[in-house]
Amino acid sequence: MLGRPMERGITGRRAFIRSTALGAAAAGLGARELSAAWPPAAPTEGSAGPHRTDDDERLALIAEAHFGPKTPAASQTGMTICSHPLATREAVKILREGGNACDAALAASVTQTVVEPHMTGITGVLSMLYFDAATGETTYVNGGANAPLAPLTGFSAADIATGRGPGVPGFWAGFEAALARHGSLPRQRIMEGAITFARDGFETHPFLWGELFVMCHKIGLTEAGRRVFMPDGHIPRPGELLVQSEAADTLERLAEEGNDYYYHGGFAQQYSDVVQKAGGVITPEDFARYEARWQQPAWSTYRGYPIAGSPPPDHGGSLVIEMLNMIELMDLQTLGPPNESAESLYQMSRIHNLVFEEGGKQNDPDSHPLPLDVILSKDYAEMRFKLLQMGRSNSASNPPPPPPAGSNHVTAVDAAGNVATILHSCMSLPWSNGLFAAGVTVCASGAHFLRVMPEPGQRATAYVAPNIVFNRQGTPMLASGSPSVGLLANIVQNTTNIVDFGIPIAESVLRPRFGGRSLEVPGSTMVEADVDATVIDAVRDRGHPVDVMNPWNWHHGAFEGIHIDPDTGVRSACGDPRRCSKAEGQ
């Protein structure tokens, strides 16, 4: 389940305060200091370190880090999209210098650990689906979190706030493995933007300010946290420069030493010491034995178009395939998309809920057998779809609430036709435990152990969903992914909008959506308020509970997708209004 598994207790008044603060921050509304300080003023002399020639460019991009409609992008060569304009621009620079899609996507990802520390970090996870245009091969690298070798007996939601909450991180292993196999530029160049923004700083954008505001009680628990985010006794105001000098030092060491420092040296030792002092059990041995996994993607077809997705234990991609296998049995083109058709909304929402809940039982296939060939078969999809029609709504089972929104997704296509689509994440609420090591947050990625506890030393499962849809000639035509609660529903709706209805991607991301399970109304499905009321009423009349929320709700994620026209080769993308996303061509 991508994003941030919810701590028990993050409900009621605290959830309301959190949502209100973040909504105000994202929209630039409701906070006096926010409106007074945004957009940021031009920097004063010397305020941005040695790279002052980039000040205007940086400020212009920071001003684009807002929720709401974005400018579409099109290119005949390279294209990148992710949820922060600074990171998108770093990826585009890489493409312009001759780097490939892997180089660009990794540059954006590591930059996001600096400019979006509320969403991701180098102590989280990173996994990539990659299409190599020269060989026609599609590969997947899993850099998910491991459980420690020492058993976490009695693990519960209360542990997320302690040293028992972190997992053994896979971000850096996934990063290095991807770059070594598919990259073309040196690691130091890929990381240059991230190091610069950490060392010289960048202006705090409203979304980051909102998360810092809500979680400052955790950040301020330790001197290490206060040094990073409260050096003057308070969090940075919107528009103020955020400098992360210790993180810059760590990133520079990683650029030079890589795995030797992270998994076999000082970083592993410092991380383990911090976690153990807070009651955890992770040791340098856990780090030393960690390896990124190269896996075969999950495969199927949709309407005759081949589709590849992330395989278990990053099973979001295979779950998207399961959903599309069932949706394929609907006459969707006659019915219409789910934001216009009550029948489509009813059926697609139920399909989503069924696959989502059953997917929650899947464990790491390295330790628990998983018949993926059966699960992804068309026969199985037909049987499930027929059985689903026998019953009423499958939303009344009152499952545990889904996680709050989180994580990052990056997609990049280069001029040669290589495609990289990456999910990376802190896998929890930001700063859940208030722990820091080497100037970076210790992500509570073990929050995903609350779904299915891995065997000691094994991978956690997660709704990570990088995917690529191919045309009938076998080249990519749509690559995508998403963060957040509604990531699977997000991907499925945008994919069917584009494949079934030919809706341009810039229009598709603006359309009203349904999402995953409601955060506030147990057993109901989140639906945005600009879906026609007659459609919503018709779905409710059939016994399917609906929780109506604001248009462009941020819990529905961000479709970080790139469409490649099969006839012209034009790459098209558009930032989702539900996040601060930016698409940009080479």
Q: What is the mean pLDDT of residues 422-442?
A: 96
**Does residue 88 have a pLDDT over 70?**
yes
Q: What are phi and psi of 150, to 5 degrees?
A: -75, 130
List the structure tokens of 16. Answer: 């309301």
Q: What is the mean predicted confidence (pLDDT) over 509-534?
A: 93
Residue-level pLDDT at 20: 42
For residue 2, what pLDDT band results from cuts at 50, 70 and 90? very low
Residue range 444-460: average pLDDT? 94
Task: Return the DSSP state at 445.
Answer: G
Q: What is the mean pLDDT of residues 285-295?
A: 98
pLDDT at 7 over 70: no
Task: Classify 255 as helix, strand or coil.
Answer: helix
Mean model confidence pLDDT for the chain: 91
Between the alpha carbon of residue 442 and those of residues 36, 336, 439, the distances in Å are 33, 45, 9
Show the DSSP H helices in 230-265 as ranges.
Answer: 245-257, 259-262
d(CA 313, CA 461): 5
What confidence score (pLDDT) does residue 115 get?
A: 98
Long-range contacts of 318-322 (CB under 8 A, 24+ apart): 318/359, 318/372, 318/375, 318/376, 319/355, 319/356, 319/359, 319/463, 319/465, 319/488, 320/465, 320/467, 320/488, 320/491, 320/492, 320/495, 321/376, 321/467, 322/355, 322/359, 322/375, 322/376, 322/381
With pLDDT > 90 as the criterion, what percentage of the chain qualifies? Answer: 85
Is 374 a residue whose pLDDT tops 80?
yes
Q: Which two tokens stand for residue 257?
A: 């030493």
Nearest alpha-carbon partner for 152 in 130, 142, 167, 140: 167
Q: Could you tell me the two tokens for 566?
A: 């099969």
For the chain, domains (ranges, CATH) are: 295-404+467-566 (1.10.246.130)
Q: Are 177 and 420 in contact (CB under 8 A)?
A: no
Is residue 343 predicted with pLDDT exceeding 90?
yes
Task: Please say whether the beta carbons of 518 and 493 come within 8 A.
Answer: no
Whether the pLDDT of residue 396 is over 70: the answer is no
Instruction: Estimate the crossing angle of helix 101-115 against helix 85-96, to 10 degrees.
Output: 150
State the pLDDT at residue 398: 52
Nearest by Cα to 22 from 497, 576, 554: 554
Rounded Cα distance between 375 and 354, Å, is 13
Residue 521's pLDDT band (boundaries 50, 70, 90)? confident
pLDDT at 48 > cutoff 50: no
Q: What is the pLDDT of residue 40?
A: 66
Q: How confident is the model at residue 487 (pLDDT cuts 50, 70, 90)?
A: very high
Per-residue pLDDT averaged across 305-328, rounded?
98
| Position 229 pLDDT exceeds 80 | yes
Instruction: Give the relative orientation of helices 171-182 and 101-115 as an angle to the nearest 10 degrees.
Output: 160
Region 33-58: what's the mean pLDDT?
A: 55
Inform me whether the pLDDT recorded for 16 exceeds 80. no
Where do we find the tokens 């065997």? 455
| Residue 35 in this model has a pLDDT that exceeds 60 | no
Is residue 18's pLDDT more than 90?
A: no
Asked whether residue 45 carries a pLDDT value surpassing 90, the answer given is no
- Average pLDDT on 203-232 reads 96
Q: Residue 516: its pLDDT value, please?
A: 85
Interval 110-149: pLDDT, tens: 999 999 999 999 999 999 999 999 999 999 999 999 999 9
Q: How confident is the model at residue 348 (pLDDT cuts 50, 70, 90)?
A: very high
Residue 149, φ and ψ in degrees, nearest 5: -65, -35
Choose the weakest-confidence range: 35-39, 95-99, 431-435, 543-547: 35-39
The answer, yes or no, to whether residue 556 has pLDDT greater than 50, is: yes
> Against a cut of 0.85, is the pTM above it?
yes
Question: Nearest 5 degrees, angle CA 548-CA 447-CA 102?
Answer: 85
CA-based nearest residue to 95, from 112, 78, 109, 83: 78
Q: Between vectors from CA 214 to CA 213 and to CA 215, what angle results, nearest 5°?
A: 95
- Evaluate if residue 533 carries a pLDDT over 70: yes
Compute the distance between CA of residue 245 and CA of residue 499 in angstroms, rounded to an integer.
Answer: 46
**Mean of pLDDT values over 401-427:** 88
- Give Dmax over CA atoms of the chain in angstroms: 70
Residue 22 binned pLDDT confidence (cut-offs 50, 70, 90): low
Gap between the Cα atoms of 78 and 457, Å rounded? 39
The pLDDT of 324-349, averaged and rounded, is 98
Task: Give me the mean pLDDT over the 294-313 stretch.
Answer: 98
pLDDT at res. 451: 87
Q: So what's the pLDDT on residue 5?
A: 33
Beta strands, E only, 27-87: 73-75, 79-82
